[in-house]
Structure 1
Amino acid sequence: MKVLKTLNNAASYAGQRLAARQQRKYIDRHATELFHMPTGEDRYRVALYFADEMVNAYQIRQWYEPIKQLAQYVPVVVITRRPDSALALREECPLPVYYAPTIEDVERLVDSQDLRLVFYVNQNIRNFQMMRFNEPNHVFISHGESEKAYMWSNQLKAYDYVFSAGQAAQDRLNLHLRNYDAQARTRLIGRPQIDVSYLAPYSLNTSLPTVLYAPTWEGDRPSMHYGSVLSHGEKLVDALIKDGGFNLIFRPHPRSGMNSSAYGQGVERIRQKLATANATSAARLLFDDTTHWGWQWAESDLCVTDISAVAYDFMATGKPMYVTTPVSTEATVTDSPALAKVPALTAEEAEDIAGMIRYALTEENEGFREVVEYYFGDVTAGASMERFVTESLKLVVGEVHVEQLPHRRAA
């Protein structure tokens, strides 16, 4: 069995290498704009760095719109290191994409451009090939706010600055990181994604309330076992289908099933249940695997999610929500003002979710507003986006007043 697994892994690796060579040849012949380096005033000054495969593209997609806002003032580029990601981003990304397969390609870009700021959305090991350059400010922007242990990784010390959502994130870093001045090394920007208008790709039954169930994945280590698909999800979905009084958007994490086939099978069972029930239900019962994350907040009246960035994204809407309690005793669960104020949902309660949702939709949670401010600061329309753009431009051109800066001409 071990030999067979080794052979399968070798065959898979060989196939990936062959595909990469074919993709590189295609880029060399038909997508040479991926090597474009502008000159003069159009030289790039800000980069969004993504060295990962497209299964993790959800991490970068959520930054398209905020970076587009920043691009109104300074030239920006997305740097990618994989040929498959370069070709995919070429099709979907609204920003210029530069493909840098080797460190020499990265050096050519840095030498020819005027990069003052590089953003990182994850902790890919190839980040360090970019971070060896001294000139740009290297800034970690992550891919969401949460109480996961990931949010206080010691790796954050490598960056010049961390753009954090609010005071809660700064306090979290002070608590968990040794020899780290969080006040000096963080900039509080809120959640600029909440200031973007999103179009929904589906129609819903507007006479019914809409529930978003957005569980996280199974995790890649015991401390990250927050995913609720197997413990809560199937019972929860069965209960809502049986009730019939709610639209349901089921949005599993894109990485679901990567480390646990059982977890992936649970997602598939829910997908099949929704497809079958939706054919005869007055409610819309949707399996959502669309690429964009954001329209779900606007369309939903309540969210059920796990300890993840989704909880904090939805929190900023001020709408009611439940956060599942992990069944794994190894999962890291810190004391959190957010989790203390947001009602918890245990695995045993999942079957009673319909009644719990109706209760939550009619009751006020008095302490919620203070928690939102603690985690995100000012969430009035446009405030987060303005903070993100302003803090970014400070690292590019120095102290600025955004309203006094000229907009760039259209490319």
Structure 2
Amino acid sequence: MKNYLSRIGLDRTALAVLGIMGLTFLLQAVEVAMAQVWVFGLLALVLYATEWLVSQRVTVLNKVLSRIRVGLTVRTLARQALVLALYVSMDAVGTPAYWWTAGGVAAFFVLTLVYDLVRHQVFRRARTPVKTRNLDLPGISMPEIPAPLRSLPMSRVLLADLPLVLGAVGHLAGGPAALAAAGASLTVLLALGAVLFATPVFLAHLRAPSDEEVIEGVNRALRKTRPEVVLYFTFGVGEQNAVYQANMWLDALEKADRRALVIFRERGNMPHLEPTSLPVVCVPRADDLAALDLSAVRVALYPGNTGKNIHLIQRAEIKHVFVGHGDSDKLPSSNRVSRIFDEIWVAGRGGRDRYERVRHAIDDRDVVEVGRPQLVAVQGHRPPERRAVPTVLYAPTWEGVDDNNYLTSADTAGLELVERLVRGAEPVRVIYKPHPLLGRRAPSAGAAHRRIIELIEEANGRLDPVSPEAERELAALRERVDAFRESAAEQHLTAEDLVGYRELLDRWHSLYWASSGPLRHHVVTGTVPSLFSCFNESDVMVSDISSVVADFVASGKPYAIVEMQGTDDEEFRRQFPSAGAGYVLRPGLAGLETVLAAAREPVGDELADRRAVLKRYLLGPDHPDSLTRFNAAVNDLYERALRDFPIGVFAEPVPADPFRGQTGTPVSVGD
């Protein structure tokens, strides 16, 4: 039962609010029968308080209550029906006050229905088929939706019947009929005001461009920019987003020779896209994607393996490439589904060898080693004066899509690891940087994640706080960073704009690490500090089998992999090549002291030479650099695709003459 409630999102607070709401409705019905007006009125106030909590704090209840057919409209009508029933119980039906209340209920219902329809139409018409960034669309503009209309959903408008209910209660408790008349009038006026405010906005959106006009405007812009390469990203929208998979490729495409376009499929993912100078198109519907003018595109890059990829992969004139979002030894990193792509780009020989797992499903000729352009920001060992207190980066992976990929150590060794590090006799600084999706699938992993954060916060509570001056400066810099990110969705960014933004980020990172001192621990679950910044601030990493390990190998620093199954070291490293130059932590965290010693004194690091070999194996050679190799791979594939389908030539859906070159008597369609 507990797991079921957790799956539908009902925690103790939500259950408490739901219980109070249900009990209050029941007690109100009892008070109607007993004609106890003041008690009814007090219960009404409790009911409005629970409705406010549902609309503002415990929003998950909206969905749950709708599923069981007691949605917001039903609850509002129930409140008003109980008030009218109270008139019946008090033998006050037919009085002027009754008709004021009944008329107010009817008028309020009609006006709120009109408001809901008008507001719904405004938002529907404002939702263009395509959302863009960095594309000039002259003549295509949508009217703004005023902030009050955005912040006034039906869950708030329906609470405007409070004056009507209280006015009726006040009258039935012995007050004048004017109370009922005033309450009903105020409720109706509030609803009427909402309708009158929304109507001009609705009329403005009636004159907005149609979907067809918007698509044509986008196509005019695309014909002007003539993108040659597409970065295509699609992923389900949730609290924990996966847009980092696309973000990691933006810089490489900005520096590449070919003109690039970013295509997103989900609007909810767009706010998480990093500022970029590349043109961006978000097109949710497959039909609208098919209508986009991608006539010059000949290469499409896919960071994820998802179902909606097929909507672009069906374009035969484009060469489709799976680039992934990091090289790891997990099964999804060598998925036989990847055979639908024309090529698979990996960092080094290790990536090529991984695809041997699927035997003949993937042709070795379709695997191309291009390096990891993102790793240019990764630095080596910190100087001795900065590693006097070793910094351990703990970066557990998530639970995976199924139990075959359940490789996280968060709920097996993570708690013990962090507790030993923050409470040990010798000082150690911890940076906790979990996978963005950790805790999404397994409650035990989510609980461990939360407890790790608590341990770190408790340990930090025993340290001197960050100075108020540094906190203010950090907050000011972060505000500027966030403001730039928000404005990036509305303005056309240039390369110069991005230089300024990244300098601002660098300043924030430098101050963030410097102001916290050498002992303060860090929990990093947002976009900043970045993963690579965490790499550079650490002396050793403890992780699981994931792409983070291959990226960390670029630093040359020691790392450890948690292995709790008792597999022999050599067999473990054979199964997971990325662990080949790492220390292995066993149950009870056996081997942790050796790892910390290697962090303190790199000279005594017995696996340093193996890591240099592993780096070449996983990430490829240092020369030419990976950005050069990636760019060369894009250019080469583009030229080959162009030979197959020159600009203006597209794949024919059927042969022009199906009987050309055939022998025998042609058969007519009617035969």
Please say if 1:346 is aligned against 2:586: yes
- Highest Rg: 1 or 2? 2
Partner of 2:264: 80
Q: CA deviation at 1:142?
A: 0.6
Partner of 1:405: none
Please say if 1:167 is aligned against 2:310: no
Q: 1:345-396 CA distances to partner (integer Å, 9 max, x unpaired)?
A: 113226x63553124543232322112111111136x711111111112122
**Following the alignment from structure 1 to structure 2, what is the Cα–Cα distance between the partners of residues 104 and 176?**
34
Q: 1:133 aligns with which of 299, 310, 315?
A: 315
Q: CA deviation at 1:125?
A: 0.6
Q: 2:231 aligns with which of 48, 53, 56?
A: 48
Partner of 2:519: 283
**Following the alignment from structure 1 to structure 2, what is the Cα–Cα distance between the partners of residues 346 and 170?**
29
Q: 1:28 aligns with which of 122, 128, 137?
A: 128
- Amino acid paired to 1:108: A
Q: 1:23 to 1:327 in 2, by over 3 A?
A: farther
Q: Contact 1:226/1:328 (CA < 8 Å) preserved in 2? A: no
Q: 2:595 aligns with which of 348, 353, 356?
A: 356
Q: In structure 1, the residue corresponding to 2:531 is in which secondary structure? A: coil
Q: Contact 1:240/1:353 (CA < 8 Å) preserved in 2? A: no
**Following the alignment from structure 1 to structure 2, what is the Cα–Cα distance between the partners of residues 134 and 14?**
45
- Amino acid paired to 2:265: R
Q: In structure 2, the residue corresponding to 1:84 is in which secondary structure? A: helix
Q: 1:15-50 CA distances to partner (integer Å, 9 max, x unpaired)?
A: 9xx9x9997655439956576342456211111111
Q: CA deviation at 1:7?
A: 11
Q: In structure 2, the residue corresponding to 1:56 is in which secondary structure? A: coil
What is the RMSD of the two structures over their aligned residues, measured on CA atoms?
3.4
Moved more, 40-49 or 232-241: 40-49
Partner of 2:373: 192
- Amino acid paired to 1:62: M
**Following the alignment from structure 2 to structure 1, what is the Cα–Cα distance between the partners of residues 129 and 338?**
39
Partner of 2:255: 69
Q: 1:342 to 1:24 in 2, by over 3 A?
A: farther
Partner of 2:390: 209
Q: CA deviation at 1:218?
A: 1.6
- Amino acid paired to 2:286: I
Q: CA deviation at 1:162?
A: 0.4
Q: 2:638 aligns with which of 396, 403, 407?
A: 396
Partner of 2:650: none
Q: 1:102 aligns with which of 282, 285, 291?
A: 285
**Following the alignment from structure 1 to structure 2, what is the Cα–Cα distance between the partners of residues 139 and 21?**
40
Q: 1:77-117 CA distances to partner (integer Å, 9 max, x unpaired)?
A: 1111112123443x7455322011111211122x3541111
Q: CA deviation at 1:160?
A: 0.2
Q: 1:22 to 1:384 in 2, by over 3 A?
A: farther
Q: 1:195 to 1:356 in 2, by over 3 A?
A: closer
- Amino acid paired to 1:137: K
Identity of aligned residues (%): 26
**Following the alignment from structure 2 to structure 1, what is the Cα–Cα distance between the partners of residues 619 and 369?**
8
**Following the alignment from structure 2 to structure 1, what is the Cα–Cα distance between the partners of residues 65 and 638?**
41
**Following the alignment from structure 2 to structure 1, what is the Cα–Cα distance between the partners of residues 526 and 9?**
34
Q: Contact 2:132/2:279 (CA < 8 Å) preserved in 1? A: no
Q: 1:158-214 CA distances to partner (integer Å, 9 max, x unpaired)?
A: 0000001111221221343324321x101101111111479xxxxx97652221110
**Following the alignment from structure 1 to structure 2, what is the Cα–Cα distance between the partners of residues 279 and 164?**
44
| Gap runs ≥5 in structure 1 | 199-203, 400-411
**Following the alignment from structure 2 to structure 1, what is the Cα–Cα distance between the partners of residues 123 and 520?**
40
Moved more, 270-279 or 251-260: 270-279
Moved more, 303-312 or 285-294: 285-294
**Following the alignment from structure 1 to structure 2, what is the Cα–Cα distance between the partners of residues 192 and 242?**
38
Q: In structure 1, the residue corresponding to 2:561 is in which secondary structure? A: strand
Q: 1:368 aligns with which of 593, 611, 614?
A: 611
Q: In structure 2, the residue corresponding to 1:274 is in which secondary structure? A: helix
Partner of 2:212: none
**Following the alignment from structure 1 to structure 2, what is the Cα–Cα distance between the partners of residues 32 and 24?**
17
**Following the alignment from structure 1 to structure 2, what is the Cα–Cα distance between the partners of residues 134 and 29?**
24
Q: 1:152 to 1:197 in 2, by over 3 A?
A: closer
Q: Contact 1:225/1:328 (CA < 8 Å) preserved in 2? A: no
Q: 1:300 to 1:275 in 2, by over 3 A?
A: same
**Following the alignment from structure 1 to structure 2, what is the Cα–Cα distance between the partners of residues 270 and 3?**
25
Q: 1:341 to 1:12 in 2, by over 3 A?
A: farther
- Amino acid paired to 1:157: R
Q: In structure 2, the residue corresponding to 1:119 is in which secondary structure? A: strand
Name the structure where helix makes up a greater proportion of residues: 2
Q: 1:120 to 1:298 in 2, by over 3 A?
A: same
Partner of 1:299: 537
Name the structure where strand makes up a greater proportion of residues: 1
TM-score by length of structure 2 reads: 0.52
Q: CA deviation at 1:328?
A: 9.7
**Following the alignment from structure 1 to structure 2, what is the Cα–Cα distance between the partners of residues 120 and 227?**
25
Partner of 2:548: 310
Q: CA deviation at 1:227?
A: 0.2
Q: CA deviation at 1:320?
A: 0.6
Q: 1:57 aligns with which of 240, 243, 246?
A: 243
Partner of 1:322: 560
Q: CA deviation at 1:339?
A: 2.2
User: How many residues are paired up?
Assistant: 382
**Following the alignment from structure 2 to structure 1, what is the Cα–Cα distance between the partners of residues 255 and 65?**
39
Q: 1:147 aligns with which of 290, 308, 329?
A: 329
TM-score by length of structure 1 reads: 0.82
Partner of 1:226: 407
Q: Contact 1:154/1:177 (CA < 8 Å) preserved in 2? A: no
Structure showing greater relative contact order (alpha-carbon pairs closer than 8 Å, 6 or more residues apart) = 1
**Following the alignment from structure 1 to structure 2, what is the Cα–Cα distance between the partners of residues 152 and 303?**
24
- Amino acid paired to 1:97: V
| Gap runs ≥5 in structure 2 | 11-59, 68-115, 136-214, 380-384, 464-517, 642-671
Moved more, 307-316 or 45-54: 45-54
Partner of 2:446: 264
**Following the alignment from structure 1 to structure 2, what is the Cα–Cα distance between the partners of residues 130 and 260?**
33
Q: Contact 1:227/1:326 (CA < 8 Å) preserved in 2? A: no
- Amino acid paired to 1:235: E
Q: Contact 2:378/2:535 (CA < 8 Å) preserved in 1? A: no
**Following the alignment from structure 1 to structure 2, what is the Cα–Cα distance between the partners of residues 323 and 56?**
24
